[in-house]
Amino acid sequence: MRTKRSYHELGSTQQWERCKQGRTALAEIGVPASALCNPKLPPTALLPLSTADRRKVRSIDGLYIPGEKVMAKCKITLASTHGTRTAALCLTRPSPTKKEQVTQGAYVCDPLLLLRTVATESPFVSVGGDKGGGFTKLGVTYKQHGTQHFLPLLVFEGDDDYEDMHVLRTPHVTIFSGQSDKHADIFSVLQYIINQYNAFLNGDWPFISCMLAHKGAAASFPCPICLVPKEKLYTCAAYRRPQDGGSLHDWNAAFLTIPSNRIVPTPLHLYLGISNRIIFDAFKEIIGEQQLAAIVSTIRTKHSVGCGGLSDLHVFNGPEIHRWIHRGRGQEVAAVASAVHNAGPAVLDKIDKMSKWMKQLEHYLLRRGEWNQSDLFVFRSLLDNIHACWNKTTKIRAFPKLHMLRHAVEFAERYHILGAASEAQIESFHVKFNALYHVQHRNMSHQPFERVRRCLADSVVALAAPMPADDSATAATALLQLQVPVRTTRQSHHYSCAA
């Protein structure tokens, strides 16, 4: 068969004829011709891109997107219709040197309107927060189109402990407007969301303990959900009530009040904590620290300075544990134990059992979908197996996260979800916010308050922007996020439509 010339090698009349043939062929299979054209995307579809990225796209021939004036007008419109307006936050608190310390932050001016806009179709809502990269974020986790999102409502430079959180209750620190004008502080807003939406409370262990004014995992009754003593972590206990206390100081009033059965039992941190105990304590006891370090070095991620978390110094993070499991490093530990330490069948069986525990915990604790009765039965069996064999298999005494694993099973049995309402999305948001703060808005370092406000505004606008109406706009949005060559000059270019 004779090969046709490329579209760009044809003359204008021949190109027109080729496009006509293409439209006819598409119509025969039911595809509109507009699907292969380069439509002018709505400004809402480009809000997730930075200003610099949009400028790069405009230098590409054949891609036409709205100008920055149109983008600015779109953001102003969303501020009034979707509640994306933000304001800077100034926190003043005493420091150890007896001088006032001013920290930066930002918040959404009408968080209730924003939440009603973005989470209308979400099957659940989780109130939570966490500290990462020097900033603590408070917000809401929800699910839209099968994807979990974290909507930040307030960001401030500080820790997620009671002392720093208590500063947010200072009068006139936050001035809400619109549908949220009746609330004096962010905790009043979050409490309203819990009551109105029957929301969950998620986050890591220190954050949940801070919100409930609980002493934490080192207390005599370490669990923020029930009243189990630290000597009986394998057993059940009555759920904790607000009047049960457990605070470090009498004047510590809880920031939030929520039924104990609606607290998400930190599934991500259970997976990380139990897996790291197995790797860095149980396996180290079997093969030795030097042999384990050689295996760990093949898994450890090398981050740039300041771009990693505390796991860079101490333990594995989630992706590193995932690589450990799926690259069969447990089998490598068994091989080293057999070759170097002459381990018998009993020790090899223990290594195999612990490796299976890690794989099962990853599957069930991080599961995003709904649970069926078969999955719940297997998860309950896994819990019973771990609790019955933990001391004998790992030689590690019980620690609070083993007890919290029981609440994870109860939560999944009660609501048929677990990972979907977890704190995983909050951890992912730290990466996005750090990229905005250290890269995209680095030029605003001379205005620290405005810098944080813009980071929060970009995060909120990207979530609140209406979804494109058709699939072609969605495909074009994905195309804009690719790394494409940039031309220095713009030349006239025809839309291409090949058969």
Q: 372: helix, coil or strand?
A: coil
For residue 104, how many other CB atoms are within 10 A of its CB? Answer: 20
What is residue 185's predicted lDDT score, i.e. its pLDDT?
93
pLDDT band at 110 (very low <50, low <70, confident <90, very high): very high
The tokens describing 389, both together, are 């064999």
- In whole angstroms, what is the distance from residue 89 CA to residue 270 CA? 33
How far, in whole angstroms, is CA 210 from its chain's centroid?
Answer: 20
pLDDT at residue 36, as a whole number: 61
Q: Which of 165-174, 196-205, 265-274, 358-367 has the lowest mean pLDDT?
A: 165-174
Percent of the chain whose predicted confidence (pLDDT) is above 90: 56
Following DSSP, what letter does each residue of 161-213 receive, concatenated?
Answer: SHHHHHGGGSTTSS---GGGTT-SSHHHHHHHHHHHHT-EEEE-HHHHHHHTT
* C-alpha torsion sign, points 428, 430, 433, 434: negative
Cα dihedral 152, 154, 156, 158, rounded to 10, equals -80
pLDDT of residue 180: 95
Q: What is the pLDDT averaged over residues 69-92?
A: 90
Which range, 85-94, 181-190, 234-243, 470-479, is most confident? 181-190
pLDDT per residue over 225-261, tens digit each?
999 999 999 998 999 887 776 565 555 688 999 999 9
- Residue 202 has what pLDDT? 96
What is the model's pLDDT at position 498? 32
Q: Is the pLDDT reported for residue 481 higher than 90?
A: no
- The DSSP secondary-structure symbol of 57 reads H
Q: What is the pLDDT of residue 15?
A: 85
Give the chain's mean pLDDT. Answer: 85
The set of residues, in sequence order, having a beta carbon less than 8 Å from that of 306 and lying 6+ positions away, is: none
Contact partners, residue 324, CB within 8 Å, separation at least 6:
275, 279, 299, 316, 330, 358
CB 464 within 8 A of CB 84: yes
User: Residue 478: what pLDDT?
Assistant: 45
Distance CA 198, CA 453 (A): 29
The one-letter amino acid code at 175 reads I
Measured at the CA of 489, the angle between CA 485 and CA 491, to 5 degrees, comes to 100
In 3D, which of 255, 82, 93, 257 has the Cα closest to residue 173?
93
Per DSSP bridges, beta strands 125-132 and 100-108 are unpaired
Q: Which residue, 111, 106, 168, 113, is CA-closest to 140?
A: 111
Q: Which residues pair with 106 in a beta bridge?
A: 88, 155
Give the mean model confidence (pLDDT) for residues 214-233.
91
How far, in Å, CA of 345 to CA of 71, rounded?
A: 66
Q: Are strands 86-94 and 135-144 parallel, antiparallel or unpaired?
A: unpaired
- Tokens 């630290």 sit at which residue? 230
Task: Compute and round to an integer the Cα radius of gyration of the chain.
Answer: 27
Strands (E), 4-85: none
Task: Give the full edge-to-edge strand order of the sheet including 125-132.
Answer: 86-94, 100-108, 147-157, 135-144, 125-132, 200-203
Which range has the top average pLDDT, 72-76, 238-242, 373-377?
Answer: 373-377
pLDDT at 421 over 60: yes
* DSSP letter (8 states) at residue 6: P
142, β-bridge pairs: 125, 149
Cβ atoms 42, 468 nearer than 8 A:
yes
Residue 315: predicted pLDDT: 84
Tokens at residue 73, please? 């007008």
